[in-house]
Structure 1
Amino acid sequence: MSAVTFDTHEFVKTLEAAGVPALQAEAISNAVKKAHESAELATKADLRELELSLTVKLGAIVVVALGVFSALLKWIA
């Protein structure tokens, strides 16, 4: 999956602007960054790739099913 960036410096600045002490803001930022890195997030590109893959597989299943159905009809008739 694609990497999604997390700007820790901007996050710390935002926390400090809201009145959070610098050391606490850095600790929160590090904790959020670690949680963010360990999460497996799907991007829009990942979802598009998955959708394409599933569409191709479904198309193949339909083609095979039609072939089997056609063979059964010839065998029965």
Structure 2
Amino acid sequence: MDKRRKKKKRKDDDVNLSHLIKGQKELLDISCKKQKSFNDFANDMLISKDLTGMDEETFEYFRIKRHKAIPRAKSEE
């Protein structure tokens, strides 16, 4: 009887572990989707930012950021 219990417990542990792994994969997928959404939003904000009237240093900062954001936005389309 003791061997059956151990075998059943091991099987239950394996099932619980597979459920845990599946849950972690689902959480990772959700996290990746949220990160992509945030990155898309940040790229859109950089691309649409009005650069007129900025001092040279700030203008150059946003120009470089925009230069990097545009290809990323195009590659995701």
TM-score by length of 2: 0.47
Q: Which has the higher helix share?
A: 2
